[in-house]
Structure 1
Amino acid sequence: MKKLPTPTPAPLLALLLAAAFVLAGCKPAQSAGGPPQAPPVSVAPAVVRSVADSEEFTGRLEAPETVEVRPRVGGTVEQVHFADGARVARDALLFTIDPRPYEAEVQRAQAQLAAARTRAELAKAELARAEKLVSQQAISRQEYDQLASAAGTAQADIGVAEAAVRIARLNLGYTAVRAPIAGRASRALITTGNLVTQQSLLTTVVSTHRMQAYFDGSEQTFLRLRRQGGELAPVRMGLADDEGYPRQGRVDFVDNRLNAQTGAIRMRAVFDNAKGDLAPGLFARIQMPGGAPQPAVLTPERAIGTDQNKRYVFVVGADNMPQFREVKPGPLIDGMRVVTSGLKEGELVIVDGLQRVRPGMAVAPTALAVDERGMPVPKAPGGNGNGAPAPAKS
């Protein structure tokens, strides 16, 4: 007899039907997928502005005058007359050294001077009597010569004693240690009660009415300054917390030779410090203007990337495909970088989202509002900082 197939149990049949429906439901979801979504980026147009060619340098501020205050006589510090870090005038009293030993030295020198004068008067009187006696041949010529020599020696002793008095008075005056220049004093390195010598450093004083910035210029900078006929070139300076270069100054010194190894030459610019907000040692950014203003293409500094020794930007075309452009950057002006080659006016440059750009992948650009300089405007509070989507180029 032919064997009949074994019927499938009802529970197993239900399980198989449920699995089939689950697989059928997954297929439409997979078929609904597509290519990955274009990453969003922010773009801003390259602008053309009339800018003056300029060079930028870095340096440090130095005071025109820096004096180490040391005593000219030894002794015990009796009093300190200034507060640490205070501004002091020229000849202001800074320290007092115990003057009593020097007062006694002045008195001793004055007494020696008085004695010398008395001896000189006696020698002069004896010489006058000897002149009468030698004319009468009452004394020998030798005795007369001895008395004349003694009178001359006594007169010379007066000069020695007078010099000793002047030295003693000078030393007494040196017990009052005064500021050699006007400026700002450091702290008192030696306080009251300490014994000092002529090698002891009491404090330092730096001038503050002007400040100098030393920097190294290139050979081209030196040649350009020389072509100007030696005229002092104007410069601008910015500190670490300054926006741009708000301080005006002039180059007042150019060294007499270039460094053959680096091709640089030391220069110095001087700046007024009437407000007293400049201090020696501060980092300084120096900008030296060049020739007449010329039109130049600019883009925000943050739009420029670096790949080893190359500088580049990404330009978004009409198809929203980012294009890699190698550029040659120029000077930085108020956050905008001059681009001397590789970029044209009006081209949309990616300024935010460079890390999302992938080769061969389109992006979703959003144009940022820009100010009169071409700099993207910071996002408004509560907004996303983007403007309308970038229009497609025709």
Structure 2
Amino acid sequence: MKKKTLGILVGVAVLIGAGAWHFTHKPAEGQGGGKSGANAMGQGPTTVNVVAPVRQDVPVLLQANGTVSPISTVDLHPQTTSTIAKVHVKEGQFVKEGELMFSLDARSEAANLDKAEAQVAKDRATLADLERQYKRSQELLNQKFIAQGAVDTLKSQVEGARATLEADIAAARAQKVSQSYTVIRAPMAGRVGAINVYPGSLVQLSTSLAVITQLNPINVAFTLPESSLAALLDAQRAGKVAVQVFQNNSSQPIDGQLSFIDNTVDPVAGVIRVKAQFDNRDTRLWPGQYVNTKLTVQTLKDALVVPQNAIITNTRGTFVYTVAPDNTAAVVNVQRLHAFGTQAAVTGLKGDEKIIVEGKQNLRPGGKIRIADAAGAKHTGKGQQQKGKAE
């Protein structure tokens, strides 16, 4: 009984295996036959779009975000402790160099100056009297009415009086300097900021009266990557380097010139700090404002320009696909000189090639291609010919 059951189970297993083999191998054979047929027929050409490289002058631009900064800013402080007598300017006013801005209470300084000048006058009178006495003593000495010692004493007194006079003259000049501190004038031309004092305010050496900011000319400070330093220095050695800035939401450029390249590269950020100077008579640029900067470091003359989406970069290098005379894909190695927008200036091309821009993802070197525009034109020509025959 056990042997009979075992035989039945073995037979069922054989039948199941045969059925599984039949259903799995029969479609595979059909597929294999189809694939072999396709290979026998050959793969059709790949449809592509092409463009021709363009020769043009390409400016090499460096772009960065910059900050407007004044060339000079002065925070006015008094040089003496006093009270404000009068404020001669208003907030936001443009002042010229030397223009009167603040007057301090000068009564004490004026009195001290008068006292110093009176002392000088007294010293002059004393010196004149001693010089007359010294002169008479010399006459008396010649007549042998006085001794030589008396003449020497008068001579010493004259010299002492002359030294006292010179010291008091210096003290008077010092008082004039102190009195000049009571009048505060603009040290440069610029715009006055907020005024922090009023007539009657007590001011000291640490009191900020106002800030004057020079607005014309004005600087724009920005940073460029370290890799641009060589081209930047070459451009500066060649002559003046033009710089353009654009304000936010404005397409109108403001023209200036490169004025400063820092003497060190920031080793942490890998950037170099530079400045450009701009004429700002119309005050379009304001200190602290953020702007976009464009700097032209060189111009690539008669460069070949191709679309960037035509350039392929992989482990084999950088290249483009071109159309060979036999309508196959050919690989041409190129070097990207400068990229701008959707275009790039390259070397390695002759200029008469047809560069493949669309459809290249399905290409292999030597693969058959069909130009989409040419195919469309051929199809259109056939349609018009058939239409003419029908008419």
Q: TM-score range by the shorter chain?
A: 0.5 to 0.7
* Fraction of identical pairs, as percent: 24
* Cα drift, residue 113 of structure 1: 0.9
- Aligned residue in 1 for 2:183: 176
* Cα drift, residue 155 of structure 1: 1.4
Provide the rounded CA distance (Å) in 2 between the counterparts of 1:138 and 1:64.
76
CA contact (8 A) 2:307 2:357 kept: no
What CA deviation, in whole Å up to 9, does each residue of 1:221-251 have, x standing for no partner?
A: 32113334352311111122322x6011111
- Aligned residue in 2 for 1:85: 92
1:240 and 2:248 are equivalent in the alignment: yes
CA contact (8 A) 1:131 1:144 kept: yes
- Aligned residue in 1 for 2:380: none
Which amino acid in the other structure matches residue 112 of structure 1?
Answer: Q
Provide the rounded CA distance (Å) in 1 between the counterparts of 2:83 and 2:53.
70
- Aligned residue in 1 for 2:201: 194
CA contact (8 A) 1:61 1:283 kept: yes
What CA deviation, in whole Å up to 9, does each residue of 1:366-393 have, x standing for no partner?
A: xxxxxxxxxxxxxxxxxxxxxxxxx9x9
CA contact (8 A) 1:48 1:345 kept: no
Provide the rounded CA distance (Å) in 1 between the counterparts of 2:307 and 2:97.
50
Over 3 Å counting, the alpha-carbon distance change for 1:158 and 1:213 in structure 2 is: same
Provide the rounded CA distance (Å) in 2 between the counterparts of 1:115 and 1:78.
33
1:133 and 2:140 are equivalent in the alignment: yes
1:66 and 2:73 are equivalent in the alignment: yes
Which amino acid in the other structure matches residue 211 of structure 2?
Answer: T
Which amino acid in the other structure matches residue 241 of structure 2?
Answer: A
* Cα drift, residue 119 of structure 1: 0.9
* Cα drift, residue 116 of structure 1: 0.7
CA contact (8 A) 1:210 1:270 kept: yes
Within a 5 Å distance, the mapping from 1:252-267 to structure 2 comes to 252-267=259-274
| C-alpha RMSD of the superposition | 3.3
- Aligned residue in 1 for 2:125: 118
Provide the rounded CA distance (Å) in 1 between the counterparts of 2:222 and 2:153.
72
CA contact (8 A) 1:225 1:231 kept: no
Provide the rounded CA distance (Å) in 2 between the counterparts of 1:185 and 1:117.
46
* Cα drift, residue 48 of structure 1: 8.5
Which amino acid in the other structure matches residue 126 of structure 1?
Answer: Q
Q: 1:292 aligns with which of 294, 300, 317?
A: 300
Within a 5 Å distance, the mapping from 1:1-394 to structure 2 comes to 51-228=58-235, 229=237, 231-243=239-251, 246-289=253-296, 290-292=298-300, 294=303, 296=305, 336=341, 338=343
Over 3 Å counting, the alpha-carbon distance change for 1:142 and 1:83 in structure 2 is: same
Provide the rounded CA distance (Å) in 2 between the counterparts of 1:153 and 1:298.
93
Over 3 Å counting, the alpha-carbon distance change for 1:241 and 1:104 in structure 2 is: farther
What CA deviation, in whole Å up to 9, does each residue of 1:18-68 have, x standing for no partner?
A: xxxxxxxxxxxxxxxxxxxxxxxxxxxx99985422111222111111111
Which amino acid in the other structure matches residue 253 of structure 1?
Answer: F
TM-score (norm 1): 0.62
Provide the rounded CA distance (Å) in 2 between the counterparts of 1:138 and 1:218.
94
Over 3 Å counting, the alpha-carbon distance change for 1:338 and 1:119 in structure 2 is: farther
What CA deviation, in whole Å up to 9, does each residue of 1:122-166 have, x standing for no partner?
A: 111121122223334443333322211211121122222222222
Give the gaps of 5 or more residues in structure 1: 1-45, 300-327, 349-390
* Cα drift, residue 331 of structure 1: 6.3
Provide the rounded CA distance (Å) in 2 between the counterparts of 1:116 and 1:96.
33
Which amino acid in the other structure matches residue 127 of structure 1?
Answer: Y
CA contact (8 A) 2:339 2:345 kept: no
Which amino acid in the other structure matches residue 242 of structure 1?
Answer: S
Which amino acid in the other structure matches residue 196 of structure 2?
Answer: L
CA contact (8 A) 1:90 1:180 kept: yes
* Cα drift, residue 256 of structure 1: 2.3
More helix by share: 2
Provide the rounded CA distance (Å) in 2 between the counterparts of 1:176 and 1:222.
48
* Cα drift, residue 285 of structure 1: 1.6
Provide the rounded CA distance (Å) in 1 between the counterparts of 2:343 and 2:149.
98
Over 3 Å counting, the alpha-carbon distance change for 1:116 and 1:94 in structure 2 is: same
* Cα drift, residue 203 of structure 1: 0.6
